[in-house]
Structure 1
């Protein structure tokens, strides 16, 4: 990669991240969902603390870039990108808890359970996970219903026991019994790789592209 390529990549990453950041702030505003019963202020503050604290937004970037391959990197893709970031941030909030990694800092700031409390951190993570599916399934993500359903299914599988959550469990087990090379590959493919794979496949799902394009 040349210096010009590196600079172009970094500028694209910054541009995509800024767009996702604006949408995340809007989605996590207390007034975001009109007509909904008022959401607890402390819960919303914890959710914002866990999401709006920096980060490269690499996963949303990959969603937008994969959608751009199909000329589909519009508002719907941006919403899917934001949903994926909610899932990623929920996982970080839960990973930082004393029962798991027991971290006090995340990106130079107190982790959610340190800034608030453990129960609020658990609930904030839960709420971010459910918000992700709300974002994708909602009519504001202006895609045909079958595409939204396909995205929900793909993200659920990437985030669940066969993906990210399962990988976190393997990571916890590895603290007691170090895995062999195959075990490490499996762990990383699930804990980190599953959401990355979803991000790279999402563009084809957003565009309604044939299965062959998704597999490539």
Structure 2
């Protein structure tokens, strides 16, 4: 059985009242993946903006079978996930990591090169927990700050280049690393509610990026219909 663990920041944990891209991908895999699977992770809650805490369970769809599990946090990045990923992989026996990180790091904590170093630490730690783990990495996707802050946009572009290089350099047959393509036609004015966090269409496009990468490279699931 495949055990998928979503790892990410505020775009992955989501906030009260949202479906999240995790939900969209779960629906897709239920419809297209040939075989049993689970969504796993040490956390389940959404972020509650009213209290500024990750304590909400008010998902837009309360389907009783929806596995809410994840390893995502509002304001967390590679810097925060690298030290905890090994324990999470061991405890929840994850064998496919779906990772969307980097925006927070570049915005508040580290430059592109330092962020890439933390990516390397993350991969090393995950493999220490499971030498055969698979990982899908999503580049930093369009966001409102990059539209108006040229130095930040340059850092995003540089990190995405380094992420591609890191993924290629660290890829190995027993523990493949896969770089997902940025969601095609992702528009912060149509696919987010604030320039950064995905609305329903953005959730579908992020889920499609992960699903498409796994389908094309590993034959998992099927093509994702975003219409």
- What's the TM-score bracket when you normalise by the shorter of the two chains? 0.3 to 0.5
More strand by share: 2
TM-score calculated relative to the size of structure 1? 0.36
More helix by share: 1
TM-score calculated relative to the size of structure 2? 0.35
Q: Which has the larger radius of gyration?
A: 1
